[in-house]
Amino acid sequence: MDDAARRRQQQPAVGEGSSAKARELDPPLHAIGFEVEELSPSRITGRLLVTPTCCQPFKVLHGGVSALMAESLASMGAHMASGYRRVAGVQLSINHFRSAALGDTVLARAVPVHLGRSTQCSREELCMLTFDWKVWEVKLWKMDPSTGEKGPQIAESRVTLLCNLPLPEEHKNAGDALRKYSKL
């Protein structure tokens, strides 16, 4: 298979929607069934149907899956908000208030709470670089099956990301999928 055919095969089919976005934007999110809905530097939303793949043995959403959603959504948002510069999560805290059971749909929303405070890195090899810190809040709710609206909140996270990291040449296109789907 030539390179052009391989690229066509990897492109989402027209009409695949939010699942295609997740596949292109974050393969681990896609693997658990997460669907990206809204995507911008100031807000990211999506949903996840709780399946056996994302449950712990008691048939409720695994806390690690909640953390995966939080880190992934915050990282996408910080990447866009930093002008598609490289970002790295440096701290994640999460509180779980309620559980989401097998078959529930979880709604997720990530928004920035702090978009920059420059600091100089003290590591010798990076000492000439200035970095931004971005903090994102990610909330998860169970969807009310009778109304289709947001129901009780199940978790809340804070994700701190180091931004404006040097971007290696081989990763210069890392933000292309975000640019493709984002509302800028």
> Looking at the domain covering 18-116+128-174, what would its CATH class be?
alpha beta
**Per-residue pLDDT, 115:** 66
How many residues appear in the chain?
Answer: 184
Of 163, 65, 155, which Cα lies nearest the Cα of 114? 163
Phi and psi angles of residue 89, each rounded to the nearest 5 degrees, phi first: -70, 130
Structure confidence at residue 130 (pLDDT):
59
pLDDT digits (tens, 9 = 90+) for 146-162: 898 999 999 999 999 98
Give me the residue spans of the domains in the chain: 18-116+128-174
The amino acid present at 167, given as its one-letter code, is L
In whole angstroms, what separates CA 72 from the centre of its chain? 3
pLDDT top residue among 73 and 16 = 73
* 42-76 residue pLDDT tens: 999 999 999 999 999 999 999 999 999 999 999 99
168 class by beta-carbon count within 10 Å (0-12 exposed, 13-18 middle, 19+ buried): exposed
Q: What's the mean pLDDT when you consider all of the chain?
A: 83
Catalytic residue among 71, 125, 149, 156: 71
- State yes or no: is 71 an active-site residue: yes
Strands 86-96, 150-165: parallel, antiparallel or unpaired by DSSP? antiparallel
**pLDDT given at position 63:** 97
pTM over 0.85: no
Q: Convert the pLDDT of each residue in 83-138 to its tens digit.
A: 888 889 999 999 999 999 999 999 999 999 976 654 444 444 444 455 677 899 99
Residue 183 has pLDDT above 90, yes or no: no
